[in-house]
Amino acid sequence: MLEAFETGYLSKFEGSFTPDPPFSFYGGPYVQSLEKEWSNYYGMKHSISVNSATSGLYAAYGALGLGFGDEIIVPAITMTACAVGAMIYGAIPIFADVEVNTGNISPDSIEELITPRTRAILVVHLYGFPANMQRICQIAKKYGIKIIEDCAQAHGAQLQGKLVGTFSDISIFSLNV
């Protein structure tokens, strides 16, 4: 990180879509290095950096093709971007209850809220406490629903030896320090 600051170039991206170094659509060497190391750490095929976890959430909703009338189940206790992101695409956030001990989304509440319009479940691992991903994954599989994990507060957190962010179809992290 210090090396990137000293060069004055975090990404070397200046809006050029040509593959010629040092400019490219994929960002500069520091961004590409971060994405590669992130993918290796989490055992993911792809990692894409954006300016914020909020932008990542918006991109995730778009990648799932959410649209008007679609429903996404979100926890009742979370950042506003989790619900607003769905509304940007015309989707409807459906608020699920949270568990008393962790503040994380309740699997029982998720299952009660599923309708034929439910397209996704957003799981927020609040305060570093992993949500009950085994049960949530079972529910999502049963109904054919996609899962997005918001891991902005849970870097490196594990559930039964598995890193959060590796249970879902898409995961979001934040480096906001």
Q: In this predicted model, what pLDDT tens digit does every residue of 132-163 receive, in sequence order? A: 999 999 999 999 999 999 999 988 899 999 99
The model's pTM: 0.87
**Backbone angles phi and psi of 20, in degrees to 5:** -75, 130
The DSSP call for residue 13 is -
Q: For residue range 36-46, list pLDDT tens digits in order.
A: 999 999 999 99
What span, in angstroms and rounded, lies between the C-alpha atoms of 116 and 95?
Answer: 16
